[in-house]
Structure formats: structure tokens, C-alpha cells
Chain A
């Protein structure tokens, strides 16, 4: 005997409803702690999506490893944009790196995160209407019915309302994760975009987390911490580490001071500012600041010095 009241669409039936009920069951087994349940389910889903996440992190690392070679190409073909792009694409192809690969992983994971987000909002039932809406998502399990409504208290936090500390943690963990995973770029345009993303998204999410129930912020922090640990295992501190100066010309100019041993003798091809004098070769010729050094004057014969003797 079934009523037609459920009216759940495919998204609800396949993703939303199972996630919601799992969240409730885990809470029940964790002494009614919804906060713990959020953390556990977030970690479980992260583990299930591990292959995609690892793919994403490895793509980023591969990009990072390519940076020195990209810098060489930039130096070599910097003035020829067409050739530069050609060589860069060739390098990507040879190394098997897909610059947009991480984006694909992100789009696959997005529906899962949205469903988890929605489940947390449903189960939290922040307002009385929310509890009514939750009823249609429940499986006919006694454990589910008797567990509800869940307590929104977790440690000192009310998960049904925004919490400034958790909001700050959202921003900080996002920043950290992005910083570790963002490879330094020699392309000024890409570097600018990376910097913008590094700061814009964490700031945006921090402000939004102040409006969300802090249960959502808790799930975001748990997810970020997991990814930070994963990132560390693959790349170490990554972008957080101070990067060494790359080999080759970085565009910086240095003053060069020649040593005595390195000083060129006058027997070598003369430079335009070498003045030729009468004195013959002597040991003093090694000292560029002592008189007697010949200075070549263009158009004059070298034999002039010999005639004066």
C-alpha cells in the first residue's frame, strides 16, 4: 500500500535520499552526534572519490614539474607567440599533461558535493518547515524515524546557525589547499589569474559560510583538510614552499666583476676601447689598472708600439 505523495525525482531517489538516510544512520551510531556524522560521511565520500582527486592532484604536480622546461621555452621563444604556443603544446603532449584535466575531475565531483550539501541542510531542519520537508526523504527504517530530529549541537557549536570561527576555518583551509596545489607560473597572465583565484574564492566562501548553517562549514573544512593531507602526500608542501630561482635568465640583471685570472690578455682579439702603447709585454700587463696596457685605436697599426722602441 503506497501513497503517491513521495513525488521524488530521479536525483532525489538515486542520490539525495540515500545520502540523507545514511547521514541519519551514522548519527544514530555516533550517539546522535550530527557533527561527527557530517565529518565521517564527508571523509567516506572523499575516499570514494579518491581516484578522481588523485588524478587532479597529479595533474597539478605534473604541471608544476614542467615549469622549468616551460620557462626555457618562454625564454627561447618569448618573442614569437606562435612558436611559443606551438612548443608549449608539444611539451604538454609529450609529457601527457592536460592543463584542463583537473577541471574535468572537479565537474564530476560537483553533483556529489551538491547532494551532500543538500542532505546536510535537510537533516539539520533549521526551521520547522524543514522538518516537514525531511519526512518525504526517509526510508522506512525504524532507526531513521526514531533518531529524528537530530540535535544540532556539536562541541560548542550550533550547527543550525552560522559560526564565525568555522567560517574562518573554511577560508583558511581553502587558501591552504589552493596554495599547495597551485603551481607557480612563468606566464604573467596565468600567474595573475592564479593569484586572483587563490584569494577570491576563500574570501567569498568565508563570507558565505557566515550565512550558512555551520554544519555546511564543518563539511567543507573536513573535506579541505582531507585534500590537504592528500596533497601533502603527493606533492609535499607544494606551492607553500619557497620556490628556488629557476635556471637561466629570469630577466634580473646582475653586476659582473672580472677577476685578475679572467682578464683577457692583449694578445687576444682587441676590443674597440683597447689603447695600443709603445711598451712591450711585461708582467704588469696582467694588471688592467697599471700603465703600459695597450689600447687599440681603430684604423691604427699595431706596429706603432714597436717603432717607438
Chain B
């Protein structure tokens, strides 16, 4: 009897080995999903004529009328057809599949049109004169292999500028989509450019900040070379009184002379500077991935007071509302900071188990937050009330 049990145990061990191998395989597959392998998007909002435009996580342009709080209008989803052919098999399916396109960049609005750059490497244009019929139209698709757009477009002097994951900066005619100029940097561009007067500033993963003359489409001749840091740049530059402020992955926030491209000062953080900083009355408020907001004198780049601990990384660009600057930490907690006392005036938890990665938007005392979910959150900054959610999916 005992030996019969032992024989059965040997068979059982064999079956357990097979089962363990299958579980390991499934576990590894599950881990690959858990490891943030899906592009979701973190589009911020743009307000034009009382309407907030935002790219949803479902690949749609959503138009929200902020005056009458009516039901949001949704465009058709932007879809992407995956590779076909015998090599398009994966563990879950074979053949071609269609998926919605993630939208990372904040939409740009120009002359009744909204422009969105998709993760599929295509720029789409939406005619928003009739919000009941918003259809995405391909506006620009670079030649060759499609590389994602992560940063958003900016429009200045009738031209649209954007950087792509292949490291190329594109200058397009905002009306027709004609390619006007390109410039190839050394690595990916995931940041959104900033415009000041006739100059466009954009950072790249090649650790350099570039300055372009908008009229000519060429590098600013006053800069001998692009400004070089020790780390990749994803942050959107901030330009204030002839100084360009830019954060880098080398943990420094730099102050650069906009005229010459030379470093004036730099300030050290403890992790990446990811979000664009904000400036109020000569004081810079810079969120860092170490979870702190550094409060720095814009002229001397010295700390004015102790940094404010948000207890979670800061990836979202803040907004200024009256005498307050509003930050969102990644773990969905909103901080209202008094710019007079430079201290926290109110903490507003959204109680969501998702991240806030995209920039905040403010309009008439209301701050709009787009977390990685199906809704847009909004807060009345005056009284700190959390307002009803705005659905971003039909």
C-alpha cells in the first residue's frame, strides 16, 4: 500500500512539474502586462472659447463646454491597425487587430481646428466648428516607419511644431499640413516645445536643449551650440524675462540665458525634473520626481524656503489660480499652495487608485485633472470642493 502511494506520488510530482511550468509561463505573461507595457496616455486640456479640449484614454477628442456643463462631445476614436502577416502572431492572437491610439500630448487649438498628435505617429486635425460632428482627419504622417508622438504640438505664426520619438523636430504649415522644415536631434523627443517671441525651445533625450528661430526654421544663430545637460530632457521649458528654465534627468533645474544659450545657474533636486515648473512673482515652483516641490528664487536659483513634501512623485505641470499654485502628485492628491506664505493651504485627496501624469488645466477658478481613468476630475479651488466627474468615454 505504501509503495503504491509512492508510485502515485512520483506521477503526481511529474504533473506538478508540468503545472508549475505552465503557471510560471502564465505568471511571466501577467508580469509583462503588470510592468506598464500598455500605452495609456496623459493628455492635458486646452481651453479655447469656453470649451475644454482633451484627448481621452480611449483615443477620442473630448470637447467639454465649461460654461453650461452640458454633456461632453466625443469624436470618433482614433484607431490603429496592427501589423498583419505571419509574423504578427503573439501569445494571444494572430493576424491584424485594431486598437485605439493613446494620446499623450495636450491638444493645440488654432482657428476652429484642434490638433492632436497620436502615439501611432500621426497628427490628426479636428474641425470643431460643429461639436456634434467631430471626425479625426489625418493631418500629417511622416514618411517611413511610424514613430510615436509623445509630446504635444504648439502653434506659432501659423506654423505647427512638434518633436517625435525618432528625435526629429517637425515644422508644418498649420493650415495645410505641408512640411516646412525638419531637424534631427540625437535621441527621442518626448517633451512639448515652448515658444517665446520668435524662438522655439525644445528638449531631447540627447541631453540637449535646442532653440529654433520660428521664422527661418533654423537653429537660433545666437546660440553657439544647443545647451547641453548631463541627463535626458523631457520637461517643457519655461521662459521668463529672458531666462529659460529647464529641468533635466541629471536632477538639475537650469537657468539659461535665452540670448546666448549659456548657463546662468542651476539647482539640484534629488530625482528627475519631469514636469514643467511654474513661476509666480519671481519665485519658481518646481515639482520633482522625488516628491518635493522646490521653491526657488528665479534670479539666484537658491531655495527661498524648505521644499514642500507631496509624498509622491510630481509628473504633472501645475497651474496658477489667483494667489495659489495647484500641484497634483502622482497618487492623485491635489495640493493648493499659497504663493504668499509658500506653504500648503489645502490638501484635497481624490481617493483614486490611479496615477495623475498629465498637466493640470485651470479655467475660472476650477482646476481640471485628467488621471489615468475614464473621467476628468475637477475641483473648485476657492472652497476646495471636488466637483462631479466629467466622463471622458461614451
Contact = CB atoms under 8 A, between A and B. Distances in A.
A and B from one complex? yes
B205 A82 contact: no
Interface stretch (B36-44, B131-139, B338-346): B36-44
Interface stretch (A45-53, A193-201, A274-282): A193-201
A149 B290 contact: no
A140 interface: yes
Nearest to A192: B14
Interface string A198-236: 001100110110111100100000000000000000000
Interface stretch (B3-11, B68-76, B276-284): B3-11
Contact of A145 (B24, B40, B231): B231
A211 B27 contact: no
Nearest to B292: A3
Nearest to A189: B11
B65 to A, nearest CB: 30
Nearest to B290: A3
Interface in B294-328: 307, 309-313, 315
B272 interface: yes
B7 A127 contact: no
B272 A4 contact: no
Interface string B44-60: 00000000000000000
A48 to B, nearest CB: 20
B270 interface: yes
B90 A211 contact: yes
A155 interface: no
Interface in B163-212: 187-188, 190, 205, 207
A211 B92 contact: yes
Contact of B37 (A99, A130, A145): A130
A142 B29 CA distance: 33
B147 to A, nearest CB: 11
Contact of A201 (B21, B274, B311): B21
Given A103-B17, A136-B313, A146 B35 contact: no
Contacts of A205: 25
A8 interface: no
Contacts of B15: 193
Given A85-B4, A211-B32, A212-B32, A197 B21 contact: yes
Given A197-B18, A211-B90, A99 B10 contact: yes
Contacts of B10: 99, 190
B31 interface: yes
Given A207-B89, A207-B90, A210-B91, A81 B17 contact: no
Given A103-B17, A148-B232, A208 B91 contact: yes
A255 B4 CA distance: 37
A5 B312 contact: yes
Nearest to A106: B20
Nearest to B232: A149
Interface string B75-95: 000000000000101111000
B92 A145 contact: no
A75 B138 CA distance: 75
Nearest to B11: A189
Contact of A127 (B24, B38, B329): B38
Nearest to A187: B10
A149 to B, nearest CB: 6
A108 interface: no
B371 interface: no
Nearest to B22: A204
Contacts of A44: none
A13 interface: no
Nearest to A136: B313
B28 interface: yes
A212 to B, nearest CB: 6
Contact of B18 (A121, A132, A196): A196
A272 B14 CA distance: 51
A208 B205 contact: no
B291 A5 contact: yes
A140 B150 CA distance: 27
A142 B271 CA distance: 10
Interface stretch (A110-118, A287-295, A299-307): A110-118
Contacts of A140: 270
A5 B311 contact: yes
A86 B39 CA distance: 58
Q: Which of A82, A83, A106, A128 has the most CB of B within 10 A?
A: A128
A132 B39 contact: no
A12 B40 CA distance: 24
A200 B22 CA distance: 9
B268 to A, nearest CB: 11
B104 interface: yes
Interface in B333-356: 355
Given A118-B31, A129-B40, A146 B250 contact: yes
B330 interface: yes
A99 B7 CA distance: 12
Contacts of B20: 103, 106-107
A31 B139 CA distance: 39
B289 interface: yes
Contact of A132 (B91, B251, B330): B330
B99 interface: no
Contacts of B292: 1, 3
B91 A207 contact: yes
Given A85-B3, A135-B271, A208-B29, 15 more contacts: A5-B290, A118-B31, A121-B35, A127-B36, A127-B39, A132-B274, A132-B315, A132-B330, A145-B250, A146-B231, A148-B232, A151-B187, A197-B17, A210-B91, A211-B92
Interface of B: 3-4, 6-7, 10-11, 13-18, 20-22, 24-25, 27-29, 31-32, 35-40, 42, 87, 89-92, 102, 104, 150, 187-188, 190, 205, 207, 230-232, 249-251, 270-272, 274, 289-292, 307, 309-313, 315, 329-330, 355, 357, 372
Among all A-B residue pairs, the 8 with the closest Cβ atoms:
A3-B291, A5-B291, A121-B35, A211-B90, A85-B3, A130-B36, A85-B7, A127-B39
7 contacts: A1-B270, A110-B24, A114-B31, A121-B37, A127-B37, A130-B37, A210-B87
Interface of A: 1, 3-5, 81-86, 89, 99-100, 103, 106-107, 110, 114, 117-118, 121-122, 125-130, 132-133, 135-136, 138, 140, 142, 145-146, 148-149, 151, 162, 164, 189-190, 193, 196-197, 200-201, 204-205, 207-208, 210-213, 216
